[in-house]
Amino acid sequence: MKFFSPRALFIAAALMGASLGTWAHHSGAMFDNTKEATITGTITEFNWTNPHSSFKVAVTNAAGKEEIWAIEMNSPQNLVPQGWKRTTLKQGDKVTAVVRPLRDGKPGGSYMSITLADGKKLGGSGPGQRESYPTPAAGAPAN
């Protein structure tokens, strides 16, 4: 009895191969989750988009040169409960951000928290950082 035709096996293999990019996208392997970096600088870009929001910060490094840090965040629907809005960051805003830095040492990381120029601190999380999600209210079902 023949269970699968060669064509069906080929299609299944192609679909599995196509999904690898999705799996890789949700990997947090590029971030060093054992470290935290605090950066202070000026917002150059803010993207309020799915699947991940992001922002860029111009930071003066130890050598006195400006470098742009690219920070990946969670999706807007996960940031809103933390007090975020699409208008929270604007180009030119001065901020201090705490991130999980990139493993390769390049300027970038996964968002943990930010302090705005007015002193307001916002939490939230980067992709895969569930410890930063809001705690459900008493009696509410946990995710």
Question: Residue 116 domain-assigned?
Answer: yes
Question: Residue 9 domain-assigned?
Answer: no
Q: Could you tell me if 118 and 104 are in contact, meaning their C-beta atoms sit under 8 angstroms apart? A: no
What is the mean pLDDT for each group of 10 consecutive residues in the chain (143 residues)?
A: 61 54 61 94 97 96 96 93 94 97 96 95 69 46 45
Q: With a threshold of 0.75, does the pTM exceed it?
A: no
Question: Residue 1 domain-assigned?
Answer: no
Chain segment 13-34, per-residue pLDDT in tens: 555 554 444 444 556 789 999 9
Chain segment 51-68, per-residue pLDDT in tens: 999 999 999 999 999 999
CA atoms of 20 and 121, how far apart (whole Å): 36
Question: Residue 47 domain-assigned?
Answer: yes
DSSP 8-state secondary structure symbol assigned to residue 22:
H
Residue 67's CATH number: 2.40.50.140
Question: Residue 95 domain-assigned?
Answer: yes
Question: Residue 90 domain-assigned?
Answer: yes
Domain count, the chain: 1
Say what the pLDDT of residue 11 is. Answer: 66
